Amino acid sequence: MLDASPEVIAVEGPKPGELNEFFELTDSPEWWAPAPLDAERQQYRAALVARLGEEGLQQRALLQRQNAVHAALVGKPMRREAENSGLVLEGKAGKQGRATCLEWRLFQRQAHRYPMLEHPTELGAYILRGHGRIRVYLSGGDSVGGKLRHEVSDRVAADAAQGFEPIAHLHNHPFMFDRTPGDRMYTTEDSKSDIGGALAPSLTDVQAWRSMREHFGLEGAWLTNGLDSIHYTSEDFDRLSAWD
């Protein structure tokens, strides 16, 4: 389990509900194993199956659905978002699997603050390994999206300088149902049919990952929806598209 009372990192001008936390864990194989389908995950999955069906919940189906939404935006800048989902569908970037225990525990912590299906939000986490330890910097708030804080990334860079490997930045792509333009999920007419949950990175995601790689040597990036995850390598960052 995660530490019940982690260190809280203060930031300037926090957004509503924003919380930045630091965890230090013993590096054991259990953290990297696929998360078991415990009662809470079963309930979460069952609620999604009720909305989408078994086939519709498969990651390939979610990617195809999101790709079609973006590909339809002919002549608009957001059409480029179809580039990355297309690459993932073609098997040219990313490795899919079940969410690991560590990914699930971080997702679960955010979901306990804001129920993911009723009130979707995003988390972000820097994950480092070294000296027999796992260091996690977890950020989340009452919003879809989040701000990358230098108060956090500066500590990640300092850890990297002390021999901790920055193996990944993790964030979630929540499911977003019943969207209406102008809602708290930043919905527009173009995005109202995008239900989320697909694990292809946005162009903004890839741009951020490349910056992290330059800043402190980020080795990978993970996307999760609480059930599935897709892991991207540093080499994938160059295969994927970012805003020019």
**Average pLDDT for the chain:** 97
Q: What is the pLDDT of residue 147?
A: 86
Q: Which pLDDT tens digit goes with each residue over 11-53?
A: 999 999 999 999 999 999 999 999 999 999 999 999 999 999 9
Q: Which pLDDT tens digit goes with each residue over 62-120?
A: 999 999 999 999 999 999 999 999 999 999 999 999 999 999 999 999 999 999 999 99
Cβ within 8 Å of residue 154, ≥6 positions away: none
pLDDT value at 1 more than 90: no
Alpha-carbon torsion 107, 226, 133, 4, what sign? positive
| pTM score of the predicted model | 0.96
What percent of the chain shows pLDDT beyond 70? 100
Q: What is the pLDDT of residue 193?
A: 95
Asked if 147 and 15 touch (Cβ cutoff 8 Å), the reply is: yes
Q: What is the pLDDT of residue 2?
A: 87
What number is the average pLDDT over the span 210-234?
98
Q: What is the pLDDT of residue 168?
A: 98
